[in-house]
Structure 1
Amino acid sequence: MSLAVYQPIMEPHGFWTDPATGAMYPVVASNNTYWPRDIRQTAILVAFAAVILICRANLRAILVAAAGTAVWIAADLVLDRVDVHGSGTAAVLAGAGAAAFAVTALVARRLSTGEPGGERTVHLTATMTAVLGALTLLVTTPWEEPVTDPAKVRVENALTLLEVALAVACAAVAAGLIRPAGWRRVAVFGAVAALAAWSVTAVESLDGLAGLVVLPVTAAAAVAAARDTPLWRLLVAAAGGAVLMLPAFLIVYLIGSALGAAMTSAASSPPVNSADTDLALPFAAVVCGLILAGITGWVTGPAFNRSAPVPTQVP
């Protein structure tokens, strides 16, 4: 639906005239113009994580799922380039997407050894998926609030529905991957992540900026909370993740913007205004998730105990 229905609505068309010179220039995109692409790619990445869940994080299955995901994303860019549109086309593409997922899952299951993946692989995938779902809530339209035009309101409502559905799907896949001894701590960190999501999307202040860091960190901590580890180690992992996110955001932002611009060019879509950015948010979220999985996995894992200094006994 986002490709055949909302992409044509959002993609800029026509020309604008410079009032000073009278010269005509093609209309360019702005921040968040290509949110339908973010939604589609998030859905593809969720499907990738779901295949990993079905195949119990088996390494061969992950490689098959990764190859299928790459083909799926390439096909999405090709379809975007040929400007598919219409509700009938959207229904056909939805059926094709479901079939592609089923075939990928079946092939991955057949080629896997049947043995489950290691705990580190599970933690990595679950954390990546949880952070992806959390940061999906940051996808917005390019319009300034408040939006009052009825057509734009309908698009805003559709985007909200898609975001919530994808966030729930990510949470479900992440929950299916982990095997917590108790859900209480997982639920607490998940609730804090939900509060941070509200802060980021509804509050235009420093609280929203703080929530931008807290959101992915607490989503990752919710996955780490499934491990049998002391609370203080979870808090250390969350604090370490928050510190890492500050420089990571800048690096991921630059790389994600370059990737987004490359995909816009590959899809033959109008470029984003040079004063704005064309951030590929789903892939930025994946990188953030992998970074947070690394720090939370280390601090809450057995390697952290081995690397910690052993206190000496005083006679």
Structure 2
Amino acid sequence: MRTARPVGLLLSAAAVVLWAFGVTVLQPLTEPIGPWSERLPGNNAYWARDLRFMAIMAVAVGLVLAGRGQLRWSRSAVLLGGCWVAADVAIDRVDPIGVRATVLLAVGGCAVLGALAATLWWRERRAPSAQGGEAPSAAERRTLTGAACVAGVLTLVAAGIESPTDREPELHQGALATAALLVVLAVGAALAAAPARTRARVGLAAGLAVAAMVGVGLVRAVAPGTRLLPETALGAVLLTGVTVLAWDWPGGRPIWRHHALAALAALLGPVAFLLATAIPMMFLLPIGATFTELAGNSPINAADSDLLVSLCGLLSGLAMALLLARPAVTDRR
């Protein structure tokens, strides 16, 4: 897909802007005032951190899309994401705030993204024999489909994210913007994974994006604590749509029995994997508390859990990729 590169880079740049906004505008809203124990934050207090981390993951997915699933671009995307998280923690300790800080972080982040993309493009041009044709290879299709699955599961996490009060207007704005960006990335990566971009697939991609956007809005409209059912439905629609877009259509038509099995996995898998990753993090692996300490923020109240839901979403997305990133018919035999 010829438009994959500019679209992927544009979406990555949008994710950079979201990240900068999260650092300088959203994060200060979650900082507790005073070190007293009765003022220590509770569950979901650092929701801005999770939105920022998901924006960083969106940067990486956008790079995978821009590279059309090529190994060099995908490896660089993962490395950039890890380094960006480390930089985020260091920047969080400084507590930047204000329009000037937002602009500086956004411009600096886009400069890093542009420099990396230019380097990868230059190396690609120097090795023309390594470039693929218009259609992605089997490995590249699996990578793109896997990236779409990761973005799809992260969409559910972003759409359902909560705060202790859930009354901050910035929470809803940030969640909607992040989830919408992830929807576009999921649909774009799935379409790029298709063996050919036909009119039917493009129309399906547009319809899926609209349906998923509406689903995100419906999830946010539901009261906190009762979002499980709409989130499950959103995941089923989005991830099943990813398979219909990305998988082979022998004879010009999808193999519906395969997509029926994919729909079952999309219905049950995300929630199951999110629970399977969240429970160990709550009781055995204090990863969220470690990030809180590294960033110099107040610890979560001992009666509550410092859960890094963005990491749960990433791991669950990778697990769903193992199930659904099988775009070729031979992969599913």
- Please tell me the TM-score bracket, short chain as reference: 0.7 to 0.9
The corresponding residue for 2:227 is 208
Q: Which has the larger radius of gyration?
A: 1
Q: How many residues align?
A: 290
Deviations, residues 175-232 of structure 1 (Å, cap 9, x unaligned): 5533354235556655664565445333349973222323223322111001223122
- After TM superposition, give the deviation of residue 250 of structure 1 in Å: 1.8
The corresponding residue for 1:312 is none
Consecutive aligned runs of 4 or more in structure 1 exceeding 6 Å deviation: none
Is contact 1:127-1:289 (8 Å) kept?
yes
The corresponding residue for 1:310 is none
CA RMSD of aligned residues (A): 2.9
Range with bigger deviation, 219-228 or 164-173: 164-173
Deviations, residues 141-175 of structure 1 (Å, cap 9, x unaligned): 3314xx4xxxx44x345425533553454346435
Question: 1:47 and 2:66 equivalent?
Answer: no
TM-score, normalization by structure 2: 0.75
Q: Which amino acid aligns with 2:39?
A: V
Aligned residue for 2:160, secondary structure, equals: coil
Q: Which amino acid aligns with 2:315?
A: V
The corresponding residue for 2:320 is 292
Q: Within 5 A, what are the aligned runs for 1:1-315?
A: 1-16=21-36, 25=37, 27-112=39-124, 113-115=130-132, 118=139, 119-144=141-166, 147=167, 152-153=168-169, 155-156=170-171, 158-160=173-175, 162-163=177-178, 165-171=180-186, 173-175=188-190, 177-179=192-194, 181=198, 182-183=200-201, 186=205, 193-194=212-213, 196-204=215-223, 208-226=227-245, 227=247, 228=249, 229-255=254-280, 257=282, 258-298=286-326, 301-305=329-333
- After TM superposition, give the deviation of residue 107 of structure 1 in Å: 2.6
Aligned residue for 2:74, secondary structure, equals: helix
Quick one: structure 1 residues 275 and 213, their matched pair in 2 at CA, closer, same or farther if it must change by over 3 Å?
A: farther
Distance 1:31 1:233 in 2: 40
Distance 1:96 1:280 in 2: 26
The corresponding residue for 2:8 is none
- After TM superposition, give the deviation of residue 253 of structure 1 in Å: 1.2
Range with bigger deviation, 174-183 or 48-57: 174-183
- After TM superposition, give the deviation of residue 15 of structure 1 in Å: 4.4
Quick one: structure 1 residues 71 and 264, their matched pair in 2 at CA, closer, same or farther if it must change by over 3 Å?
A: same
- After TM superposition, give the deviation of residue 78 of structure 1 in Å: 0.4
Is contact 1:53-1:176 (8 Å) kept?
no
Is contact 2:144-2:189 (8 Å) kept?
no
- After TM superposition, give the deviation of residue 29 of structure 1 in Å: 1.5
Q: Which amino acid aligns with 1:200?
A: V
Distance 2:280 2:110 in 1: 31
Is contact 2:145-2:189 (8 Å) kept?
no
Quick one: structure 1 residues 36 and 208, their matched pair in 2 at CA, closer, same or farther if it must change by over 3 Å?
A: closer
Is contact 1:132-1:170 (8 Å) kept?
no
Quick one: structure 1 residues 88 and 199, their matched pair in 2 at CA, closer, same or farther if it must change by over 3 Å?
A: closer
Range with bigger deviation, 42-51 or 71-80: 42-51
Distance 1:60 1:93 in 2: 26
Distance 1:141 1:198 in 2: 17
Distance 1:42 1:221 in 2: 22
- After TM superposition, give the deviation of residue 272 of structure 1 in Å: 1.7
Range with bigger deviation, 90-99 or 259-268: 259-268
Distance 2:211 2:173 in 1: 25
Distance 1:94 1:273 in 2: 33
The gaps in structure 1 that reach 5 residues or longer are: 17-24, 306-315
Identity of aligned residues (%): 25
